[in-house]
C-alpha cells in the first residue's frame, strides 16, 4: 500500500468540490458544510473509550505497539549533536536489558540536526523526522518555509512535520493554508508529510474537523495535533475528531491518512486509551506505525517500565530507565 499521496492536490480538490477553479469561497463553502461536532457527545464518547479495560495479554501487545509508534523527540533551542546522538542511540536500543524491545518509529529533530540523526541511526530502520516551516510558530514567508523543508529533505529527512498558518486558518483564508500545505508536500519529494494543526489554538472541535479535512485535501500524509509547545496539546476528544476525519476521508477517496497526537501523552495508561480509540473510531487498519504515531519522549520511559514489570513482576527503579525527555513532551 502506498504511503504517499501521488496526486495533484489542486486538481483533486477541484474534483471533490465540483468546481472549475479552486477559490477561497469554494473551500469555505465546502469546509463549513461539513457536519458539526457534537461537543458533549464527542467528549462523552472519548471518556467512555478512556475507561475501557483490556486483558493482560492484550496489554503486553499494546505496550509493544505503542513503543513502535513513538516519534522520539527533542525540539529544544539547547539541542546539541551529542544530545541528538544520545536520542538516536536510545531509539536503536530502547531497553539494553531486553533487546526484544521494539524500536520507536522515528527520531524527530530540528532540520539542522537531521544529518547527525541520520548518521547515528544508520540502517536500523528508525526514520528521521524533521520539523519545518518555521516550527513552532509558522510565522515566516512561504519562501522561507519551503526552503526550510527542502533543506531538511536534502539532509536526509524521511518525514517532515510542518505547521500550518493558524492565523490564516482562523481568519478564514483557507486557500492560503491549502496552498502552503500543497507546496510543502511537493517540496517533500518522497518524504512523508505530517501537518501540525496546533489544535489548542483552533479552540473548537468544528475547527479541528475543518483543519483536518483541509490538511488531507491539500495532500498531507498525516494530520498531527500539536507542536507540544502550547497547552492543551493532544487530548483524546480532539484525536477522536481527527480519527473520524481520516476514516471518512478513506470512505470518500479510498486513501489512508495517518494521525499523530503529540504533547502531553506520558503514561502507558494514556497511550492505551489512544490505541483503543484508534481501533474503535478509525479501525484496526490504523493500528500500525505507518498510520499512527505518538509525538513523545517521556512516554517511552513509562512504557519500558511497564514492559519490565510485566516480564519480571516488579517495577524497576526509575534510575534504570533513561530520562532524556525534553520539556513539553
Active site residues: 161, 224, 260
φ, ψ dihedrals at 40, nearest 5°: -65, -45
Write a three-state SS string for 9-58.
HHHHHHHHHCCCCCCHHHHHHHHCCCCCCCHHHHHHHHHHHCCCCCCHHH
ω into 257 cis (within 30 of 0): no
User: CA 34 to CA 49: how far, in whole Å?
Assistant: 24
CB 250, CB 220: distance < 8 Å: no
DSSP category for residue 285: G
Of 306, 300, 321, the residue nearest 72 (C-alpha): 300
Q: Which residues pair with 132 in a beta bridge?
A: 162
User: CA 302 to CA 321: how far, in whole Å?
Assistant: 9
Strand order in the sheet with 192-196: 258-260, 222-224, 192-196, 159-163, 127-132, 106-110, 70-73, 294-296
Q: Is the dihedral of CA 208, 212, 213, 218 positive or negative?
A: positive
Amino acid at each position: 500500500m502506498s504511503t504517499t499521496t501521488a496526486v495533484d492536490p489542486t486538481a483533486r480538490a477541484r474534483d471533490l468540490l465540483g468546481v472549475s477553479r479552486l477559490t477561497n469561497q469554494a473551500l469555505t463553502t465546502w469546509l463549513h458544510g461539513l457536519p458539526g461536532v457534537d461537543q458533549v457527545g464527542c467528549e462523552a464518547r472519548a471518556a467512555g473509550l478512556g475507561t475501557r479495560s483490556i486483558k493482560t495479554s492484550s496489554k503486553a501487545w499494546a505496550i509493544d505497539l505503542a513503543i513502535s509508534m513513538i516519534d522520539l523527540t527533542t525540539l529544544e533551542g539547547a539541542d546539541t549533536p551529542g544530545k541528538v546522538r544520545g536520542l538516536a542511540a536510545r531509539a536503536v536500543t530502547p531497553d539494553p536489558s531486553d533487546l526484544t524491545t521494539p524500536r520507536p518509529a522515528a527520531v524527530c529533530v530540528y532540520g539542522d540536526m537531521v544529518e547527525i540523526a541520520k548518521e547515528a541511526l544508520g540502517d536500523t530502520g528508525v526514520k528521521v523526522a524533521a520539523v519545518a516551516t518555521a516550527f513552532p510558530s509558522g510565522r515566516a514567508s512561504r519562501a522561507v518555509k519551503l526552503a526550510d523543508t527542502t533543506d531538511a529533505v536534502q539532509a536526509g529527512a524521511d518525514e517532515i512535520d510542518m505547521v500550518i498558518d493558524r492565523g490564516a486558518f482562523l481568519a478564514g483564508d483557507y486557500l492560503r493554508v491549502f496552498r502552503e500545505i500543497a507546496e510543502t508536500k511537493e517540496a517533500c519529494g518522497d518524504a512523508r508529510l505530517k501537518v501540525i494543526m496546533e489544535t489548542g489554538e483552533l479552540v473548537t472541535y468544528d475547527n479541528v474537523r475543518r483543519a483536518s479535512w483541509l490538511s488531507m485535501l491539500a495532500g498531507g500524509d498525516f494530520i498531527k495535533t500539536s507542536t507540544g509547545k502550547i497547552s492543551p496539546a493532544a487530548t483524546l476528544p480532539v484525536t477522536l475528531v481527527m480519527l473520524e476525519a481520516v476514516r471518512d476521508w478513506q470512505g470518500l477517496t479510498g486513501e489512508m491518512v495517518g494521525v499523530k497526537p503529540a504533547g502531553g501523552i506520558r503514561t502507558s495508561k494514556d497511550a492505551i486509551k489512544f490505541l483503543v480509540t484508534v481501533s474503535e473510531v478509525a479501525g484496526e487498519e490504523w493500528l500500525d506505525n505507518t498510520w499512527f504515531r505518538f509525538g513523545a519522549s517521556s512516554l517511552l520511559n513509562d512504557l519500558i517500565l511497564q514492559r519490565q514489570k510485566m516480564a519480571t513482576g516488579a517495577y524497576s527503579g526509575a534510575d534504570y530507565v533513561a530520562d532524556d525527555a525534553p520539556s513539553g513532551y
